[in-house]
Amino acid sequence: MDLRELYQDIILDHGRHPRNFHAMDKPSHFAQGHNPLCGDKVTVYLQLAGERIDDVSFEGRGCAISTASASLMTEILKGKTLAEAEILFGAFHAKVTGGKPIAVPPELEDDGERLDPLTGVKTFPARVKCATLAWHAFEAAVQGGGVTPIVRTE
């Protein structure tokens, strides 16, 4: 099995069996994201303890890439600080958009590499929005607290 097949298998697995796919009872923060170009919708829920992400989950509907990205994001961000989450998103965003690479500290390298299966979307610009939708909703949740900002990735 080559690397591309392995990456496809990871995306399909997370797309079909998303992790942390549920509404949170009493989130401290949440936000909705919507990509009107393809119809993907996601709500990201957070439970923050100061600057640490105690819990993160999501629900919604979307393509396999959108769902897999949200699933991987929630697995990776649990227990991280908001600063670590910002670094991981910055590095991931640079990889999927073909932007200038962002250095990831050694303690976050494994988490950053877990997102590599999604980096193939950079050759399909319309799919980049699918891969980043949950991350943008996460950012909006952090910034908006308990309000319900709607993020549109047009």
Contact 14, 132 (CB under 8 A): no
Q: Name the percent of the chain lying above pLDDT 70.
A: 93
CB count, 10 Å around CB of 131? 30
Query: 23 with 57: CB under 8 angstroms?
Result: yes
24 phi and psi, to 5 degrees? -90, 135
Place of tokens 């961000």: 77
Domains of the chain: 3-16+27-152 (3.90.1010.10)
Question: Which percentage of the chain shows pLDDT scores above 90?
Answer: 75
Mean pLDDT, to the nearest integer, of 102-112? Answer: 95
- How is the chain classified by DSSP, letter by letter? --HHHHHHHHHHHHHHS-TTBS--SS-SEEEEEEETTTTEEEEEEEEEETTEEEEEEEEEE--HHHHHHHHHHHHHHTT-BHHHHHHHHHHHHHHHHT-------GGGHHHHHHTGGGGGGGGSHHHHHHHHHHHHHHHHHHHHTTS--EEE--
Average pLDDT over residues 93-117: 94
Chain CA centroid to CA 88, Å: 10
- pLDDT tens-digit profile of 132-153? 999 999 999 999 855 454 555 5
Q: Tokens at residue 33, please?
A: 């994201």
- What are the phi and psi torsion angles at 42 (to 5°)? -145, 145
